Amino acid sequence: MGQTILLLAQALLASGAAVASPAYDVPTTPNKLGKPLEGFVSYSIEFSSFPEFAGNKSSPNEFSYNLLKNLGSIMGSDPYIRVGGNTQDYALYNASQKEALIGTVDPRRSPDYPTTIEIGPAYFESYNTWPGFKFSHGLNLGLGGNRSTGWETLVETAPLVCKTLEGKLYTWEYGNEPDLFSVSAQGPVRPSTFNESTYVWQWLNGTKEIRSQVKKHCPNMEPKFMAPSFAGRFSELKTWQAGLNADNNVELFSTHNYISGATSPGVTLQGTLMNFGVTKKSVDTHVTSYNGIFGSTGNTSAPPLIFGETNSLYNQGRPGLSNSFGAALWGVNFHLYSASVGFKRVHFHQGTNYRYQAWQPVDTDLATKGTKAPYYGSVAVAALLRNSVAQPVSISNIPLGTDQAEAAYAAHFTKSQKLGRILVINMHSYNTTVDGAGLDPLPQVPERPNKTYTFNVKAADGQLVRVQRLMANGSDAITGITFDGRSYNWELEAGKPVRLHNVTIGETVVVKGGQVTVGLPDSSAAILSFTNSCS
């Protein structure tokens, strides 16, 4: 059924009435702020879910590995994996425990993850199932900063982290969203008087102990940290002024972001996620805060700005929104706008059974194993950055006027200064599904609008430009999604790319009069490649 609807989408592309647009100017030089770090498309995995996402020594999760390697092979560098989230601040260590993790879910506190957690030595096996990847490990500040059992966990696990991850640990993290410790919906772990200066004192105390343990057990390793990992309640400036980096060991300036909440009133796919202005406002808030400390995201002496954790709607997302193709289009826009204003890496958060996840790693009584719509958005972003280690690129936003349901970005090669690719997103909603499911026979649906986008480019007339499309049967679709005619579904080749022969690929357009034009059906995106460096 999903493939049948894909055929309909292709037919609509050819026959839909095109809406013309003005010619948009593409920046002629690389954006100095827009050069990402390696692994720009990265993930944050909930601490309690990591053993399910990664598996263990006897049973590695090859599905997760395949999906991550797909992105790495396209992007030119593997995603970086942050292991953390709320549950890192509930996790206590039990050296005699045989199980990797024992967690108890209290629905009154959170129905989505355990809030009482013990981990054993076997937990660290999971770090060895994805060879070649780099990780960060989240240590418990929530309980470690003010309880003896939490402090003992810090002392006992820091050596395990450094020994297990020597050579593949890209940074450490001590505490997740500590600005919410005194107001957490899952139960406060600090008094109401807990503030920036108190947090900094506890953070410095704990990181000093981590460094001491690492020096003793892994003398060749010098711990560096991502911080402060706030959710937006504390002032990052006040934290920095209070001495967060007094020991000069903050390697990455990490901040967290969600566009809105899963149960927040008025949240819609078109108005909240598929909306350039909403995303821009949300991201710009973090840039303003960072610039208030360091002056500019281009300050090379400051720790790089990253989203250490982000996704669409907090509280693990909402069905019908966060798991839809519209959320995949939002993810493309979020990634690329963030890159254009100076974010160097973006970790999309996920956990077992979460509604906004890129994939479900195992079968449970709540969700089936499989690739989800948001993953395809990550593939499209990786394709825009294609091979960016060998050929670094810089991302620029291309202003498209006042229509908030569309966005476009340019990728320039930083060495040659030439335009390499353009990605354009038509986020106007279009639905041919009922609750995200395809129907056969198809219901009567209106003709799918097709908007034409024209860009002024510095390219030779007659040059062929390759078109790769991110497509589905509608913005609320949760199945039948492809990028460049390929599926990454679990059911086909366990997440490896599979060419679908009922989806057109190999499309090209031609530069004429210094312009290139492409048509996009509503609720779709496309990459235009001006070189032959496509795979």
- Structural contact between residues 62 and 494, judged by C-beta atoms closer than 8 angstroms: yes
Task: Please tell me which residue in 118, 177, 196, 251 is annotated as part of the active site.
Answer: 196
Closest CA to 430 of 280, 276, 269, 273: 269
What are φ and ψ of residue 44, in 5° steps?
A: -115, 125
**Residue 196 known to be catalytic:** yes
What are φ and ψ of residue 422, in 5° steps?
A: -125, 135
**Per the structure block, which two tokens stand in for 381?**
């972003």
Neighbours of 298 (CB within 10 A): 14
Residue type, 209: E
The whole-angstrom separation of Cα 522 and Cα 82 is 34
Residue showing tokens 């937006």: 232
Pairing of strands 359-360, 370-371: antiparallel
Task: Please tell me which residue in 38, 173, 177, 309 is annotated as part of the active site.
Answer: 309
Give DSSP secondary structure letters for 201-257.
HHHHHHHHHHHHHHHHH-TT----EEEEEE-SSS-HHHHHHTTTTTTS-EEEEEEEE
The whole-angstrom separation of Cα 481 and Cα 472 is 5
Handedness of CA 147, 150, 156, 162 (dihedral sign): negative
**E strand or H helix that includes residue 65:** helix 62-75
**CA dist 305 → 40, 236, 252, 347 (Å):** 12, 12, 6, 12
- By annotation, the residues acting in catalysis are 196, 309
